[in-house]
Structure formats: structure tokens, C-alpha cells
Chain A
Amino acid sequence: MSAPSWKESLLLQAPARLILGGALLIAAYMKLFDHVWAGNDPTLAFAEAIKGYHLLDIEKHHHIIELAAYAIPWTELLVGLLLVAGFWTRPAAFVAFVMLVGFTVANAMVVISGENTSCACFGDLEWPCGDTISWCQVARNAVFLAMAGYLAVRGAGRLALEMPGSGTKSGPADA
């Protein structure tokens, strides 16, 4: 695979990293620290939101919901930081891709089932979508999914910590 050019880095890779990474950082912040949106317990609010998807039986699988409520925001935070910094970009983008596949499928299942459920993806910053899950959230996730897939394949590009010759192997040097 050819190494990314400066043009590709400037027009595609850097914007994709900043937009996707920034979105993940906002999502993580709202789930971990935003007490305005979630009362005095953001983690509980996020767990309630996961439960609201009705994809798991709370009597049998509440431990999975609790695990996800703790793990997802921190994963979003780490992946967001790595993408914005442009370090370990491909692994981070791969993790984002897998997460987004899960989110997209979950959102689509909620829309198809006709449930009226809060997304809780970005707290109360659901732009350009509304609070309730709709095809808008599915489409928004699909855009992020495309960015994550692109970055997982092409890497960080040249405007990143892992520029060619910086010593890390996940940059364009090994593409």
C-alpha cells in the first residue's frame, strides 16, 4: 500500500482523525463527567440508557450493562485521545470501528422495533439528530464508521505523532 501523500493527509486523514477523535472525546466526557445532563450520577444515567435499548434482559444480563457503562466511556476517551494525537491510529481506529458497528446495529434495532428510546450517545449534544433514536443516529454512525474504517486502513497520515521516521510502526512507514 502506498504511503499517504501530504495532500491526502491534509484533506482526509487529519480531518477524519480530528472529527472522529473529537466526537469520541465529547461522547466520553458527557458519559463520564457531565452532571448537568445526567443528574449526579452520569454512569448510572448511561447504564439506564443502555438498558433503555431493551436489547438485554435486565434480570439475567444486568452485569453486562454495568460492565458496558464503565468500559465504553473510557474506551471512547482513550481512542479519542489516540486519534486526535495521531498515535497508534490504526489500532485506535479499528477499536472505534468495532464499537461503531455495535452502536449502529443497536440503534438500527431500536428504530426497527419502534421503541422510543434516548440515544445517550453524546448526552444532550445529539446534533444534528434529536434525543430519541432515529435513522438520523444510524446515518451519523455510518459516517463515523466510514471515517474509522478509512483511518484503520490508511493510518494517521503525515500530520500526526506517528509520522514516518518517528519510531512507531503503525504509521505510514509500514503501510
Chain B
Amino acid sequence: MTTKRYATRRGVIVPHLVRAMAIVGLAGLIGVGHSMMRDKPIRLVAQHGTNYLDQRDDNIAAQRDRLGDYDAGAIPGMTPEQLLDAPVIPGMITLGEAHELFEQGALFLDARSDSAFAEGHIEGAVWMPASEVLMRAEELFAFDPGMPVVIYCTGGTCDASHNVQRRLEQYGPDLGLVFTDIRILGLGYEEWKRAGLPTSEGMVGGDG
């Protein structure tokens, strides 16, 4: 390519690149204006499995108070019968209480990752991590809003269930989903499975 042709081509391309940058810059400026007009910041919920307690209080003694009688170290050695009544963090429900609700036909929501859900989940549970609540809300329209909803993740201090609960409470009314009785399972799916309670595999939930 001769110097003249190169200069000519560059003279054509450079203005286009400058305009492309102007488009991106203008869009960015509008985006900045958009963000400044919001009355609340974007609060993305934590990834699956983030520690429920660490996010709220750095004070270890205060965290211990929140745990109540819950003892994560004792759970691996428990028999299936003991698991049903194993102490949980105050405010959550035990495995036995969750099983009673299961028998009554409560809606179970699985807040874990999709791969964990596919490997195994509580029978009839619907995969609904917090990040998907807005997108998958329609999957819940078929359920009676008056029935209890039990949300579970990996158990203990796993934060994913609480994130789903917050999303449902925050956006449920706008989405037409007003669940009046939302519970958090204090133990996780593995303990449910160890207790010999009903489970399913695969991505299709809501089959119970």
C-alpha cells in the first residue's frame, strides 16, 4: 500500500472511530445521569453461599449471639432422627418443622446454584436463587400465595435463602406475588437428604 493510499484510508477510518467513541461517550454520560436520578443504589445480592452473619456484624461475640443454640460442628455427627430436631439459628425453622410443612404441601424454593439444584433438591422445590427472582417470578404464579413458602440453601449461615426472602418481600407486590408466610430452613439440602426425606434430581422443579 502506498503512503498516499494509507493516508487516505486512515483519513476515512479515523473520523469513524472518533464518532464511535463519541457514541459510547454520550451513552456513558446519559448512563451517569440515569444513575444520578435513581433514588436508591443498585444493591446486588451476594453470590450463593455467602456467609449470612459476616455481612451483618463483624463482632464475633454478637455473631455468636445470633447463632443461638445452632452448632454447625455437631451436625455432621447427628443421626437422621437427631437432624430433624437439630437446633437452628433463631428465626429459622428446623428440619422437622420443614418436613411437616412439606407434608402440608408448602412451596419449597431452592436458593442454591443451578448445578447444586440439578444434582439434587427437595422434591417439588423450584429453583429460585435471588438473582433470578425478577426474571422467574412467573414460575410462582401457579402457587397459592397463602401457602407457606420454605426457602433453603446449604444451611447454617448460608445467606442465599435470606437474599431470596428479601427479593420476594421487596418486589413481590409489584410482581403480583404476595406470599404471606415465608420461612427459612435452618439446615440445608444435604441434611434434608441425610435425614432420608424426599428428593429429586435434574433442573425441572415444582414437580412435587
- Is there contact, CB below 8 Å, between A44 and B134? yes
In the complex, which residues of chain B have a beta carbon less than 8 angstroms from the beta carbon of A58?
44, 46-47
B31 within 8 A of A: yes
In the complex, which residues of chain A have a beta carbon less than 8 angstroms from the beta carbon of B175?
39
In the complex, which residues of chain A have a beta carbon less than 8 angstroms from the beta carbon of B34?
43, 70, 74
B32 within 8 A of A: yes
B78 within 8 A of A: no
* Alpha-carbon distance between A70 and B24 when the two chains are bound, in angstroms: 12
In the complex, which residues of chain B have a beta carbon less than 8 angstroms from the beta carbon of A116?
114, 118, 127, 203
Knowing A70-B35, A78-B27 are in contact, say whether A43-B42 is a contact too (CB < 8 A).
Answer: yes
B132 within 8 A of A: yes
A23 within 8 A of B: no
Knowing A45-B134, A51-B131, A118-B136 are in contact, say whether A40-B174 is a contact too (CB < 8 A).
Answer: yes
Report whether over half of chain A's contact residues are helix, strand or loop; otherwise say mixed: helix
Knowing A91-B17, A91-B20, A94-B16 are in contact, say whether A39-B174 is a contact too (CB < 8 A).
Answer: yes
Q: Interface stretch among A4-12, A14-22, A61-69, A134-142? A: A61-69
User: Of residues A35, A39, A77, A120, which shows the largest number of chain B Cβ atoms within 10 Å of its Cβ?
Assistant: A39
Question: Interface size class for chain B?
Answer: 35 or more
- Is there contact, CB below 8 Å, between A49 and B16? no
In the complex, which residues of chain B have a beta carbon less than 8 angstroms from the beta carbon of A66?
35, 42, 44
B2 within 8 A of A: no
Residue from A35, A44, A79 within 8 A of B42 (CB atoms): A44
When C-beta atoms are compared, the residue in chain B nearest to A123 turns out to be: B135
Residue from B24, B46, B127, B132 within 8 A of A75 (CB atoms): B24
A112 within 8 A of B: no
* Alpha-carbon distance between A76 and B203 when the two chains are bound, in angstroms: 33
B178 within 8 A of A: no
* Alpha-carbon distance between A116 and B171 when the two chains are bound, in angstroms: 22
When C-beta atoms are compared, the residue in chain B nearest to A43 turns out to be: B42
Residue from A51, A91, A118 within 8 A of B19 (CB atoms): A91
Can you identify 22 A-B contacts, CB atoms within 8 angstroms? Answer: A39-B137, A39-B171, A39-B175, A41-B134, A43-B34, A43-B38, A44-B42, A44-B43, A48-B130, A48-B135, A58-B44, A59-B46, A74-B27, A74-B30, A78-B27, A88-B19, A88-B23, A94-B16, A115-B115, A118-B132, A118-B135, A170-B19
Which residues of A come within 8 Å of B, CB atoms?
A: 35, 38-41, 43-45, 47-49, 51-52, 58-59, 62, 65-67, 69-71, 73-75, 77-79, 82, 88, 90-92, 94-95, 114-118, 120, 131, 169-170, 174
